Amino acid sequence: MAIIAQREVVWEVHDNFQKQTYRNRCYICTDQGRHRMNIPIKHVGGNEGRQHYAAVSMDTSTDWKKIHWRTLQTEYRTSPYFEFYEEALEPIFTAKAPDTLLEFNFQILKVLSECLGLILSTETTEKYQKTYDTICDARVMVDAKRPLAMQQLKYTQVFEEKHGFVENLSVLDLLFNEGPNTITYLKSIPLSYLEC
Q: Which of 8, 4, 15 is nearest to 143 (CA)?
A: 15
Distance CA 83, CA 142 (A): 29
pLDDT tens per residue, range 134-179 = 888 888 878 888 777 777 889 999 999 999 999 999 999 999 999 9
pLDDT at 177: 98
50-95 per-position pLDDT tens digit: 789 999 999 999 999 999 999 999 999 999 999 999 999 999 999 9
pLDDT at 46: 53
> CB atoms < 10 A from the CB of 158, how many?
21
**Whether the predicted pLDDT of 128 surpasses 60:** yes
Which domain does 143 fall in, by range? 2-194
* Partners of 29 in the β-ladder: 34
Measured between its terminal Cα atoms, the distance across the chain in Å is: 17
For the question of whether the overall pTM of this predicted structure is more than 0.85, the answer is yes
What gap in Å lies between CA 76 and CA 157, rounded to an integer?
Answer: 10
DSSP-assigned beta bridge partners for residue 41: 58
Element (DSSP H or E) covering residue 29: strand 25-30
Tell me if 22 sits within 8 A of 141, measured CB to CB.
yes
The count of domains in the chain is 1
The single-letter DSSP state of residue 121 is P
